[in-house]
């Protein structure tokens, strides 16, 4: 079948899809880590590949930048292509002085400046959170690999260039670790579909020190995070998805 944004068939994607924002990063992950990767989607240049990792069928496909783009691709993967787990593997800007360049952040929760929750008819404020099983497994893998990481809340921002240079200070006061632009939407889509999601971000910039990775490092220099995500995908393969049977799921 095909959707407006994904031209693929049922079964073309693995149970778990890794989602970087950048299509070039998707290509890099597929060619570097997957065995026999096959291009299964290239609508609008948003490259999606499926191969195997340690014998497990895994896919990687770009999400594009921002919450509207993430919402489209994660919604279609969850609801039309049989995907149970999506892991965002992206970059983020640190707002905590405890984070160093290339540290990994596991997004336990995602605050947001977006009104994207209005699309779900929510009267109030929804709290987008990661799937605990995925989070626990990913953290255990990072510990085993002796990587430098933190677990906590991040902020998914709707605006990269803001006229107010201090707009993020209230979030920092509340303990936010880093800023990015997709996770809140991913977690909401997963919750609505009764599926699982987790974001792993590598620190590519620091609003504290002013440090920044160049575009080439952002594309291929995030290998520790990618290994954690792939190893997590292997673990999740044997864990059945628990649907929220009491909630009637209807396509939005």
Residues annotated catalytic, as ranges: 21, 25, 44, 88, 91, 205, 218
Question: Are residues 155 and 112 in contact, defined by beta-carbon separation less than 8 angstroms?
Answer: yes
Which helix (H) or strand (E) segment holds residue 179: the answer is strand 178-180
Question: Are residues 31 and 37 in contact, defined by beta-carbon separation less than 8 angstroms?
Answer: yes
Query: In angstroms, rounded to a whole number, what is the distance separating the alpha carbons of residues 90 and 27?
Result: 14
Alpha-carbon distances of 179 from 21, 170, 186, 234, rounded to whole Å: 14, 13, 15, 28
Within 13 A of 235's CA, how many CA atoms are on the CB side?
A: 15
DSSP 7: B
What is the residue-wise DSSP string for 238-250? TS-----TTS---
Question: Are residues 198 and 138 in contact, defined by beta-carbon separation less than 8 angstroms?
Answer: yes
Chain centroid, CA 46 distance in Å = 15
Q: What is the CA radius of gyration of the chain?
A: 17
- Beta strand pairing call for 56-61 and 48-53: antiparallel
């Amino acid at each position: 079948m095909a959707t407006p944004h994904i031209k693929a068939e049922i079964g073309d994607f693995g149970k778990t899809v890794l989602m970087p924002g950048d299509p070039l990063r998707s290509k890099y992950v597929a060619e570097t880590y997957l065995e026999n990767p096959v291009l299964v989607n290239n609508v609008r240049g948003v490259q999606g590949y499926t191969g195997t990792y340690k014998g497990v069928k895994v896919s990687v496909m770009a999400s594009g930048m921002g919450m509207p783009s993430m919402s489209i691709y994660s919604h279609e993967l969850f609801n039309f292509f049989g995907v149970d787990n999506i892991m965002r593997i992206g970059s983020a800007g640190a707002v905590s002085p405890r984070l160093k360049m290339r540290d990994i952040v596991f997004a336990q929760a995602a605050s947001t400046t977006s009104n994207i929750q209005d699309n779900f008819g929510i009267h109030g404020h929804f709290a987008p959170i990661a799937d605990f099983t995925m989070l626990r497994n990913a953290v255990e893998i990072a510990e085993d690999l002796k990587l430098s990481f933190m677990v906590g809340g991040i902020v998914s921002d709707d605006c990269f260039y803001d006229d107010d240079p201090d707009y993020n200070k209230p979030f920092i006061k509340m303990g936010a670790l880093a800023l990015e632009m997709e996770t809140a939407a991913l977690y909401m889509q997963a919750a609505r579909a009764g599926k699982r999601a987790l974001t792993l971000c590598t620190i590519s910039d620091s609003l504290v020190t002013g440090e920044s990775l160049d575009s080439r490092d952002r594309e291929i220099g995030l290998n520790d995070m990618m290994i954690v995500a792939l190893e997590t995908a292997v673990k999740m393969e044997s864990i059945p998805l628990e649907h929220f049977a009491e909630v009637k799921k209807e396509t939005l």
